[in-house]
Amino acid sequence: MARRLARYHSIALLLIGWEVLARSGLVNPRLFPSLPSIGDELVQLFTTGIIWPHLAATLFRVIGGFAGATVAGVAIGFLMARFAIIGRTVEPFFSASYPVPRIAIYPIFILAFGLGHLSKVALVFLECLYPIAITTFYGTRAIDPVYVWAAENMGASRRQVLLRVVAPALAPYVFNGLRVALPIALAIAVITEMIGATEGIGYLVAYAAASLARAQVFAGVLVIAIVGFILDAGISGLRDRLVFWERPAASIGWN
């Protein structure tokens, strides 16, 4: 126990450093609120119920866009690898648009879909599509055809090959993509809400910053951090249950 706690000494040091600085009088306490006052504000966000509609809106956008991208990304990645003609048609489009900062087309989405959910869900969908489609593509290509032949030799139907051979072989790759994509989904939802929205946690913190409600800004940021952490823990937990036979690969995404 003591050793486990000792592993986190750096985080304790960071928190203590923050608190000392906040109380030292060297910095303006409005700009640098103490931890208890941020905690107070965090509790207030929940007890007054201000946070709930914003939290619900953000989660809806994250999960909606992410779920859509999972279905479409797996399908696109699989078809690209399975049928050469589709691969040749779609691949140049993917590799050319991959390094383009797609967030910049968000204003077009606002014009097309409005300030509500749809413009955010669409951008979350688009951003999540890339990692999921690409990992599925490589995963499909990495399936050893010997396994498929063996199954067919033993009389497996197409459906059985797909469900019993292809799906389990693909799952670890797909989960790598999902693990990269989910934090991106939250980041995109928050960014788009800061730029143009009427609800959502990103909107809440940007609004609080503009109206100089500083402690609320810090509390809101903390809520986003907690949501990000829970989402990541959730997808990792799901992965460990479903594809328990493969060790997770180190993934370096962005968010």
Partner 1 sequence: MGHVAISLYRSMAGLILGAGAGVLLGLMSGVSRRVAGFFDPIISLSNPVPKVAILPVLIVWFGISDTSKIVLIAITTFFPAYLSALAGVRQVQTPWVWAARSMGARPAQVFRKVVFPAALPQILGGLRVALALAFILMFASEAVGTAHRAGLGFLVIVAEAGGRWDLMLSAITVIGILGFTADRLLLVASRSVLRGRETSRG
> Most distant CA pair in the chain: distance in Å?
77
Q: How far is CA 136 from CA 61, 67, 77, 200, in A?
A: 23, 15, 5, 31
CB of 35 to partner 1, least distance (A): 14
Give whichever of 151 and 209 is closer to partner 1, judged by the CB atom.
209
Q: Is 129 in the site for partner 1 (CB under 8 A)?
A: no
Q: Does 2 bind partner 1 (CB under 8 A)?
A: no
> Can you tell me the distance from the alpha carbon of 180 to that of 252, in angstroms, rounded to the nearest whole number?
7
24/1 Cα distance (integer angstroms): 32
Q: Is 69 in the site for partner 1 (CB under 8 A)?
A: no
231: contact with partner 1 by CB under 8 A: yes
8 A C-beta contact, residue 221 and residue 205: yes
Shortest Cβ 181–partner 1 spacing (Å): 12
* Tokens matching residue 102: 């797609």
Question: Is 183 near partner 1 (CB under 8 A)?
Answer: yes
Alpha helix positions (H), the chain? 2-7, 9-24, 35-47, 51-82, 84-97, 106-113, 117-141, 145-153, 158-160, 167-195, 201-210, 214-242
Query: Please, which residue, 168 or 253, has the CB nearer to partner 1?
Result: 253
Tell me if 26 contacts partner 1 by CB under 8 A.
no
Span 188-227, contacts to partner 1 by CB under 8 A: 190-191, 194-195, 202, 205-206, 208-209, 214, 217-218, 220-221, 224-225
Question: Is residue 252 a contact point for partner 1 (CB under 8 A)?
Answer: yes
Cα dihedral 210→215→217→220 (10° resolution): -150
Residue nearer to partner 1 on the CB measure, 52 or 98: 98
Contact 177, 140 (CB under 8 A): no
CB of residue 15 vs partner 1: minimum separation in angstroms? 11
Q: Compute the chain's Rg from CA coordinates.
A: 22
Residues of the shown chain interacting with partner 1 in the complex, contacts defined by CB under 8 A: 7-11, 14, 31, 96, 98-101, 103-108, 110-111, 183, 186-187, 190-191, 194-195, 202, 205-206, 208-209, 214, 217-218, 220-221, 224-225, 228-229, 231-233, 250, 252-255
